[in-house]
Each structure stands twice: as structure tokens, then as C-alpha cells.
Amino acid sequence: MGFHNTEEAIFTQPLDVSTSLKTETSTTITKPSNVTSTKCSTSSKKNFTNGLTNNHILRHSFRTPDAIKTPSNTPPTFLKNNNSVKVECQVRARIPTSTGEFFLHLYRNNRDNKEHLAVVYGDNIRSNSLDASRPEENEMDRIIRGAYKGRLKPGQIKSDISDGDDPNISSIQLPPPLVRIHSECFTGETVHSARCDCGEQLDEAMRLIQLEGHGVVIYLRQEGRGIGLADKLRAYNLQDLGYDTVTANLFLKHPPDLRNYDVATKILDDLNLSTIRLLTNNPDKIEQIEEAGIKVIERVPMIPITWQNNLDSNRIGKEVDQYLKVKVERMGHLLSIPETLLHIDNI
């Protein structure tokens, strides 16, 4: 397999959208009582998927021609058959950081025209599509696209170690890796917006994966829960007018969460990761990943740093608290709201 390389929103307020959404979800979303790691079993799975059917329905129910105006950079409507998605790792490169070395894998796929990424820590995790031989390529071609083992050295001309063994791969049996499936957030990761905790989540996921010794951050290019950066910024303006993040999306004719994880599950498959421990608070993400055949044996919560300490409700940065409250109260995310925020109205 190979891959070759009037958007004006209709500002019509949905009829009583805030009330209708609360009515539709209030019977199923339950607030978790703790934030400790959740092991997956028949009984515990209910705990972190309970109420998520509503979120799944909401994600698709607004996806109609007259309800969503689709700009060119909005992800296309995803097919239900996950087997139709194909991914291929185009190139891999070593990325040294201040805390350790990662390998950045760039993927192309047959679903959209975006370059999704896998940030891999640990030499035991390799890409099948990257390592596969390609027609008419020589050893230097393989080295340049990252299909080598071990570490490159000046003057190296072979992609594999001569004795067939990679000394960087330990023979010790490792537990299932930590995996974070992370959606792009330009505002939170690049300009450090305090409206969300996305940048913090990405940094924390990479830190935890390094502590574990192996794992992956799959970085999906689906900005703004899938609505794109332009509508995300429009939603920011609506939030300044008093809408919360869910109602702002609905005002712009989008579902609360348009994201899909088909490409992510195919990347996991390409990396030979069929059993994982997932860093997430989002039950909808767990459901989609498990429906695609990936076994999630443990949910590792992403607890915001600001919620791990005593809070001052008047402090600078309180917008992120309101954002997180909405994710818990209206989208069923699995976090316990600090006592100091329970009686503060959402913005």
C-alpha cells in the first residue's frame, strides 16, 4: 500500500438547545466517585462506559446536510466499517528531548488528507508498515525513511544490525503500554490558551509514558473536537457571550464532539498494540477503541494539575475550570469536580 502525497457560519440559535441537551443526557450521565485507575472487567467497564451511548448518539445525530456546514478543513463523515481504513507509516525519526528520546512516526491514510502522528517511546514498539520492504528501494532509502534498527551512526550504510539482534530492545517482559490518543489543539499547545488543559495533558502523557519505559502518544489532526480551528475560534467568541463549550458547538451546527478514532486504532494495529492501558477521561473514546478490537485493560485518568490542589475560585485561569466542569457534567467525562467548584455556575 502506498499513499501520494463562503465558509461563513450560519448563526441561527438552535431552539432551546441547552435545555434539550440536558434532558437528553441527564438520565444516563453519572458522576464518578473517584479518579483512580480503573481496571477493565465486565463490571468495571460499565462504570466508564455508562452514559456514553448518549454521547455517541449526539456525535452522529447532528451530522446532516442541513445541520452542519462543512468547510474544506473539517474531517469528512467517517464510515462505520473500520476495516475500510488503511494507514501507512511514511517516515520515522529520532526526536531527542530534554527528558529522553522519542521516535516520531508520520502516518498517511486513505480516509483524509492529514498527516497523523505517533510519538513512540521504547524500542520494543515498531511499525509493520514502516519495516515492510518497498519496491526498488535500497539500504539508504530504508535508512532515510527510518526503517532501521538500533541507533544510526555517521557513515552507516545498513539498515539492520549485522547479527540480527537489537541491543536496545530488552528481553524483559513489559506490561501493556500506556497509550494516549490525543487530538490536536493549536490554541492550548502552541499559544498556551488557558481555556483548556490540552497542552498540559500532552506534556503529562509523555512524562508518564517515559516513567513507564514504553508507550505511545497518537496525535490526531482533528482540531476543536473535529470542527476545525476556524469554528473553534468562533466557539471561543460564543463562550465570551456566555455559552459553554457544548452549547457553542451546537450553535455552530456541530455535535458536541465530532471526533472519530478509526485512524488511531489502525495506527495501534500497525504498531502491534492490541492490548493497552489508555490515558483518558473520555468514556466515548474507550468505547470507540474497544469497538475496533483494541483491548483496554486499564483506564488511567488524566487529572488536571489545578484540580489536584486547593482551588481559589477567583484565581486567574478559572476559565479552564469551567471548561472541565462542562466536560464532566454535560459530556460524561470521568473526573471528580473539586468541592470548591461544585456550586460555581458554568460560563
Q: What is the pLDDT of residue 315?
A: 53
**Amino acid symbol at 10:** I
Average pLDDT (275-303) is 93
Q: Indicate the range of 58-72, 100-114, 164-178, 222-236 predicted with least confidence.
A: 58-72
- Kindly give the residue spans of alpha helices, DSSP state H, lying in 93-149: 128-131, 139-144
Q: What is the pLDDT of residue 344?
A: 59
Across 177-329, the runs of DSSP E, i.e. the strands, are 178-183, 215-220, 275-279, 295-300
Sign of CA dihedral 145, 150, 152, 158: negative
CB under 8 Å, gap of 24 or more: what pairs does 270-274 form?
A: 270/87, 270/88, 270/89, 270/107, 270/127, 270/128, 270/129, 271/118, 271/120, 271/125, 271/126, 271/127, 271/128, 271/216, 272/125, 272/126, 272/128, 273/125, 273/176, 273/177, 273/179, 273/216
End-to-end CA separation in angstroms for the chain? 48
Average pLDDT (141-166) is 80
- Specify whether 312 is catalytic: no
* Given 112, 197, 231, 257, the catalytic residue: 257
Distance CA 269, CA 200 (A): 27
Q: What is the pLDDT of residue 86?
A: 94
Sign of CA dihedral 115, 10, 319, 307: negative
Higher per-residue pLDDT: 242 or 38: 242
Give the pLDDT band of residue 339 (cuts 50, 70, 90): confident
Cα within 13 Å of Cα(302), Cβ side = 28
Is 159 a residue whose pLDDT tops 70?
A: yes
pTM: 0.74
Is 126 a residue whose pLDDT tops 50?
A: yes
Q: What is the pLDDT of residue 109?
A: 94
Average pLDDT (110-126) is 94
Q: What is the pLDDT of residue 245?
A: 87
Is 345 a residue whose pLDDT tops 70?
A: no
Q: What is the pLDDT of residue 22?
A: 39
Q: Indicate the range of 57-66, 285-294, 305-314 predicted with least confidence.
A: 57-66
Is 105 a residue whose pLDDT tops 90?
A: yes
Is 304 a residue whose pLDDT tops 70?
A: yes
- Specify whether 259 is catalytic: yes
Give the pLDDT band of residue 2 (cuts 50, 70, 90): low
pLDDT tens-digit readout, 19-54: 334 333 333 333 333 334 555 443 334 344 333 334
Q: Indicate the range of 36-50, 76-90, 101-115, 309-323 predicted with least confidence.
A: 36-50
Q: What is the pLDDT of residue 77?
A: 37
Report percent pLDDT > 70 for the chain. Answer: 69
Give the pLDDT band of residue 108 (cuts 50, 70, 90): very high
Q: What is the pLDDT of residue 117?
A: 97
* Given 59, 145, 180, 259, the catalytic residue: 259
- The average confidence (pLDDT) of the chain is 76
Q: Which residues does 172 contact at the CB level (< 8 Å), separation at least 6?
A: none
Q: What is the pLDDT of residue 174?
A: 79
In CATH, what number does 87-150+174-341 get?
3.40.50.10990
Residues in the chain: 347
Report percent pLDDT > 90 for the chain. Answer: 44
